[in-house]
């Protein structure tokens, strides 16, 4: 029986009352030491982390507000640039129309100058041809008159008066034809 009692007295599952008291005193002392040294540091670290998280959230909100403000400014600038581009396009179109009108006016002036120069050249050539024809017709008229009359028109004054009379007669016929309506009797 001794063994049985001894076995009952040393039960490894039931702590000894002295151990319980020593454990409680050690726990209380450890708690006091931790309360004075470690717990304030834990609280400080916890507060710092809380501040960092809350500060990070504030900074993120501020950054988002700045980003929204920058976006708004960018959109305003973009709208301004679009309006400026439209204005420049309109100005370019108007300037193009003005240049086109100026070029058209210059071309018309140049065409009028060319036309006038051409008409002057035609007039000059016509006068030259008329002079040549008069000279040729005068010469032919003198030859014809010499044959008809049978006498020589050696005298320059006589020849000149005969040619002038013949040409004025031709001019009179030409004027009558121009003033007479087409299809009418002359």
Q: pLDDT tens per residue, the chain (186 residues)?
A: 555 555 556 777 888 889 899 999 999 999 999 999 988 998 999 999 999 888 888 888 999 999 999 999 999 999 999 999 999 999 999 999 999 999 999 999 999 999 999 999 999 998 898 888 877 877 777 777 777 775 555 566 666 777 777 778 777 777 777 777 655 444
| Contact (CB, 8 A) for 142 and 153 | yes
- Residue 155 backbone dihedrals phi, psi, to 5 degrees: -70, 125
Domain coordinates in residue numbering, the chain: 45-175
- Residue 70 backbone dihedrals phi, psi, to 5 degrees: -65, -40
Tally Cβ neighbours within 10 Å of residue 141: 19
pTM attached to this predicted model: 0.37
CA 131 to chain centre: 62
> Helices 38-149 & 17-36, crossing angle to 10 degrees?
40
Local structure of 59: helix, strand or coil: helix
């Amino acid at each position: 029986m001794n063994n049985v009692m001894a076995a009952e007295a040393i039960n490894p599952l039931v702590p000894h009352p002295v151990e319980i008291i020593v454990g409680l005193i050690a726990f209380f002392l450890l708690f006091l030491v931790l309360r004075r040294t470690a717990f304030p540091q834990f609280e400080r670290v916890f507060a710092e982390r809380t501040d960092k998280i809350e500060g990070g959230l504030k900074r993120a909100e501020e950054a988002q507000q700045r980003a929204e403000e920058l976006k708004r400014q960018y959109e305003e600038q973009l709208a301004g640039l679009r309006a400026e581009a439209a204005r420049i396009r309109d100005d370019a179109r108007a300037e193009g129309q003005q240049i086109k009108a100026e070029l058209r006016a210059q071309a018309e002036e140049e065409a009028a100058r060319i036309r006038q120069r051409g008409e002057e050249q035609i007039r000059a050539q016509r006068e030259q041809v008329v002079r040549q024809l008069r000279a040729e017709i005068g010469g032919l008229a003198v030859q014809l008159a010499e044959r008809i009359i049978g006498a020589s028109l050696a005298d320059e004054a006589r020849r000149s008066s005969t040619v002038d009379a013949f040409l004025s007669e031709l001019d009179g016929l030409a004027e009558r034809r121009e003033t007479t309506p087409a299809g009418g009797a002359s």
